[in-house]
Structures are given as structure tokens and as C-alpha cells.
Structure 1
Amino acid sequence: MTSKMVIRQPQPTMIIQDSDEWGSDICDCTQDVPECCFAFWCLPCFACSISKKYGQCLCLPLLDYFGGIISPVTMSMRVSMRERYGIKDTMCKDCVYSTFCVPCSWCQMSREMKRRKIPIVLISSKAT
């Protein structure tokens, strides 16, 4: 009877001390002009693609078009994103942006997802 010893190396981790603020303002469309143009010309397609990248149902934002005055999906996505990334803001602002600035709100969420998605780069160093 032989036994095998399994050794697991610790995996690299990266702790990011990030801000508790949005990375960009609601009207910072100049930071990503192609995405803002996409959102302006075809908001339903843009919102669906951002929803999918965020890990939600692809067609979820389409439900906003059956709602009333406030876009419920846009508002809930903003609140969810604030909770996930630890962004301190108010429900009142989320409500205002989701009602009067829907394309800008989706663009801001897209920029935030790109900013918070920082890849881990491992560098091997050898003494020569």
C-alpha cells in the first residue's frame, strides 16, 4: 500500500483597495465615446449586452419598456452594482438617473464594470 502526498501551492491573490465612489460621473461620455454612441443609437441592444456582461439575463433590460415612469430594471441594476462594488450613493440619485438619464446611466455602469475588472498579471522572476 502506497500513499501519495499532495502539495498545493498557495494561489496568487490580489486585494484591491478601491474607491467607494463611481469611477466616472454620469455625463462622462468622453471617456468611452464608441460605447456612448452605441447606447444613444440603440439603447435596448446596449443595455442587454451590459446586462449579460454583468451576469444577468440578456433580455432583462427589455422589461423597462413595459414599465411606467421609472425604469425598474435600470434602477435595480444600478443598486446591484453599487452593492457589489461598495459604491456609496443614494437610492434617490439612482431613481433620478434611471428615470431621466437612462442611456447615461447604462454607460456609467459599463465604464464602472470595465474599471473594476482588473486582470491579475503574474510576473516570473529568475535570477540570471
Structure 2
Amino acid sequence: MTSKMVVRQPQPVMDVRESQDWGSGICQCTENMPECCLAFWCLPCFACITAKKYGECLCLPLLDGFGFIPPIGMSMRVSMRQRYGIKDNMCRDCLFATFCGPCSWCQMSREMSRRKIPIILISTKNT
């Protein structure tokens, strides 16, 4: 039995079929009213659920309460823009995360629901 050392791992490839804009506006919370209500009445719970769905640590958004600019909310928006190929800028991300926290988290949740791009790693096996 011989063993081979893998030198190069397959990299995930994302085929972007969506537009380069957010799928919904920052104030379009009426598209999913239950999420909007949860975000308004219990933002920490909603942010933790959204971060978990995004693949981040469940309690990570709880760190947003220790400063004026919420670093986790802002970095999640930047990460989501990069993942989905959304054109925007960090200044707007900072403004939305700081002054429109619940709306910003709702927009990110709607975007994840709308895009639903699974990342599938396919391993090739030589037989």
C-alpha cells in the first residue's frame, strides 16, 4: 500500500449569478416581519442567530456592546459583501452598523436567505 501526500487542496469556487447590489434595502424590514420584530426587541439574540447561520461563533456579536462603533456588525457586513460580491464601501458599512444596527442585521439575514450559495468541496480520488 502506497500513500500519497496531498500537495494542493481543492479551493472552493463561487459562481456569482446575482447582482452586485444588496438584495434589499437597509429599511426593507417588512419583507420578513418576524425577523424584524426579533431584531428590534432582542438584537443580541437575533445577531447571534444570524452570525451562527453565517458560520461564525454564536456569541461573537455580543462583543459589539463594548464601544461606539460595533466591530462585529461592521466586519460581518464587510465579510458578507466580499463573499457575495456586493459593491459598497466600508464607510457605509460603518454608518449602518453604528446607527442602524437592527436594520443592518436584518439586511444581512435577508441577504443570506436570498443568496443561499452552498460551498461544496469536491475531493478527487484517483483509483
TM-score, with normalisation over the residues of structure 1? 0.78
Name the aligned partner's letter for residue 18 of structure 1: E
Q: How does 1:10-29 map to 2 (within 5 A)?
A: 15=15, 17-29=17-29
Q: Which residue number in structure 1 is paired with residue 9 of structure 2?
A: none
> Percent same amino acid among aligned pairs?
72
SS state at 1:105 partner: helix
How far apart in 2 are the matches of 1:28 and 1:101?
A: 12
Q: Which residue number in structure 1 is paired with residue 77 of structure 2?
A: 78
Matched, 1:88 2:87: yes
Name the aligned partner's letter for residue 61 of structure 1: P
How far apart in 1 are the matches of 2:65 and 2:17?
A: 37
How far apart in 2 are the matches of 1:77 and 1:15?
A: 21
CA RMSD of aligned residues (A): 1.5
Aligned residues: 105
Q: Any gaps of 5 or more consecutive residues in structure 1? A: 1-13, 120-128
The runs of at least 4 consecutive aligned structure 1 residues that moved more than 3 Å come to: none
SS state at 1:26 partner: coil
Pick the structure with greater CA Rg.
1
How far apart in 2 are the matches of 1:44 and 1:76?
A: 16
Shift of residue 20 of structure 1?
A: 0.5
Q: 1:115 to 1:45 in 2, by over 3 A?
A: same
Instruction: Report which stretch shifted further, 90-99 or 110-119.
Output: 110-119
Q: Which residue number in structure 1 is paired with residue 58 of structure 2?
A: 58
What is the CA deviation profile of residues 23-66 of structure 1, one whole-angstrom value per residue up to 9, with x for unaligned ones?
00000011000100000011000000000000000000000012
Shift of residue 17 of structure 1?
A: 1.5
How far apart in 1 are the matches of 2:60 and 2:17?
A: 31
Matched, 1:34 2:34: yes
The structure with higher relative contact order (CA 8 Å, sep 6+) is 2
Q: Which residue number in structure 1 is paired with residue 4 of structure 2?
A: none
8 A contact 2:16–2:85 mirrored in 1: no
Q: Which residue number in structure 1 is paired with residue 68 of structure 2?
A: 69
